[in-house]
Amino acid sequence: MAVSFAPVESMASLSSDLCYDILRRLDGQTLASAACACASFCSISKEEKLWENVCSSMWPSTNREDVKSLISSIGGFRKFYADCFPLIVNKEVTENQWNNYPEYPEEWTEAEYYGDTDEFESVLPSDFVSLVDISYKDKIICSKVLWGIPNANGFDGWFYNCPFRIDLLNYADRDDENDGEVKLSVSDGLPRIASMERERKDGKLWRELRDGLRLSWIVVNRKINQAANLASWSPLGGQRHWPTDKDFVLRFGSVLPAKDILPCQVVECILSMKFRVTHTEGDGVQTTLKLTELSMQLEDMEGAHVNGRNSLLILKEALSCRRSKNYSEVLESCHLYSKVQSELKEEKIRNESRLDRLCILSGIAAFIMFWYCIL
């Protein structure tokens, strides 16, 4: 029996329920594009429930009721997606800027180093919330939520003057559904590894991890109602078989502005993820990896760790800086930072080498003059 379909004269002739059913099946980017197609889609696409579904699918950490309340309080899921889907891009890292790289003074006054105390007092560790999601080959393997910053109580505490670092696996909320160990195995898509000696030669497991892992680390400031994703989605680099033969370290991150906070003007947010091989096929069980570290820290251009006090100010500023949906632009920004940082280190080594040679020549000249005066 032939089936006939009634022609649709325009999108406006579709019922609102049918339009909603169409839009709820879309991802965030497609939903935003569909909103420009017609007035009906534009109106329906403003529904918070649609964007809640999008965020829930992309970032499972937003499924928790307390996180949903948080997102609603800072402007809703539509705004949250618009803030956190694009990644941070810092175009201020230019080669010319670092030709005259400002050196740190030998002695700083407390006001010069810590900046405006009133401004700092308005930024508290309890203002920040971290929403972290890890996926492997498009499958979520870990979601964590961290309210505040651990061990940061008290204005004069050690946190403010010591290097800033968050070890998420040690401090994430104990109420997380997957609070247990995070593991990857062959059933998740890992290749079978006969032994670590074989892996060291062919690097197959390392390539699979580097290509398959994705990280999202969203930081929300409850006081100023802003959020941003500080991760780079895919790894920017890493090390295999370090610090032990069974460890794999992957580095994600972004370049954050530090204007009027630090002399270097920009810093790198380093997000480290470490997996350890617990079993190989040679052990009689399938290849298995365990997540042993997930951390955040900030470093300046010279590789020095930024202290807690300045890190809070930098994180606050990062939530309002420029972002882009163009991933190649994001990578270009990170690679430019690494290039300039390497050039700065090389220049520092050359200067130290010149100084060493000058000291040696001065010593030889002094030695010759000493014996000349004696003889």
Q: Where are the beta strands (DSSP E) in 280-364?
A: 288-299, 323-324
**Residue from 168, 116, 118, 108 nearest 144 by CA:** 168
Q: Where are the chain's structural domains?
A: 19-88, 123-348
pLDDT digit string, tens, across residues 261-294: 888 888 999 999 999 999 887 777 888 999 999 9
pLDDT over threshold 70, residue 75 = yes
**Residue from 301, 296, 237, 235 nearest 267 by CA:** 301
* Contact between residue 64 and residue 37 where contact means Cβ atoms under 8 Å apart: no
Compute the average pLDDT of residues 85-103: 65
pLDDT band at 74 (very low <50, low <70, confident <90, very high): very high
Q: Where are the beta strands (DSSP E) in 30-173?
A: 87-88, 128-136, 139-147, 165-167
pLDDT digit string, tens, across residues 125-170: 989 999 999 999 999 999 999 999 887 765 556 788 889 999 998 8
Q: Mapping DSSP to helix (H, G, I), strand (E, B) and coil, where does residue 123 land?
A: coil
pLDDT over threshold 70, residue 4 = no
The pLDDT of residue 11 is: 54
Compute the average pLDDT of residues 1-5: 49
Lookup: tokens for 93: 């890292």
User: Chain-wide mean pLDDT for the chain?
Assistant: 82
**Residue from 9, 337, 295 nearest 163 by CA:** 295
Compute the average pLDDT of residues 190-195: 88
φ, ψ of residue 20 in degrees (nearest 5) = -65, -40
* Contact between residue 171 and residue 153 where contact means Cβ atoms under 8 Å apart: no
For the chain, percent of residues with pLDDT exceeding 70: 84
Higher pLDDT, 138 or 173: 138
Q: Mapping DSSP to helix (H, G, I), strand (E, B) and coil, where does residue 129 land?
A: strand
Compute the average pLDDT of residues 201-211: 92
pLDDT band at 317 (very low <50, low <70, confident <90, very high): very high
Higher pLDDT, 59 or 11: 59
Compute the average pLDDT of residues 40-69: 89
Q: Which of 3-7, 155-159, 236-240, 268-272 has the lowest mean pLDDT?
A: 3-7
pLDDT digit string, tens, across residues 318-334: 998 889 888 888 888 88
**Residue from 206, 255, 219 nearest 94 by CA:** 255
Q: How far apart are CA 273 and CA 275, in angstroms?
A: 7
pLDDT over threshold 60, residue 111 = no
State pTM to two decimals.
Answer: 0.83
Q: What angle do CA 135, 290, 86 make, to 5 degrees?
A: 25
Q: CB atoms < 10 A from the CB of 161, how many?
A: 12
For the chain, percent of residues with pLDDT exceeding 90: 38
pLDDT band at 222 (very low <50, low <70, confident <90, very high): very high
pLDDT over threshold 50, residue 207 = yes
Alpha carbon separation from 151 to 98, 166, 301, 357 (Å, rounded):
35, 10, 26, 46
Alpha carbon separation from 183 to 24, 57, 190, 275, 365 (Å, rounded):
32, 21, 11, 9, 64
Higher pLDDT, 103 or 246: 246
* Contact between residue 97 and residue 344 where contact means Cβ atoms under 8 Å apart: no
The pLDDT of residue 147 is: 94
The pLDDT of residue 12 is: 54
pLDDT band at 36 (very low <50, low <70, confident <90, very high): confident
pLDDT digit string, tens, across residues 245-266: 899 999 999 999 988 888 888 8
**Residue from 255, 290, 282, 257 nearest 269 by CA:** 255
The pLDDT of residue 93 is: 67
Q: CB atoms < 10 A from the CB of 324, how many?
A: 15
The pLDDT of residue 206 is: 93
The pLDDT of residue 374 is: 79
CA dihedral of 205, 211, 212, 215, whole degrees rounded to 10: 120
pLDDT digit string, tens, across residues 326-360: 888 888 888 888 888 778 777 878 888 888 888 88
Lookup: tokens for 360: 């040696």
Q: Is the dihedral of CA 294, 297, 301, 302 positive or negative?
A: negative
Q: How far apart are CA 309 and CA 286, in angstroms?
A: 46
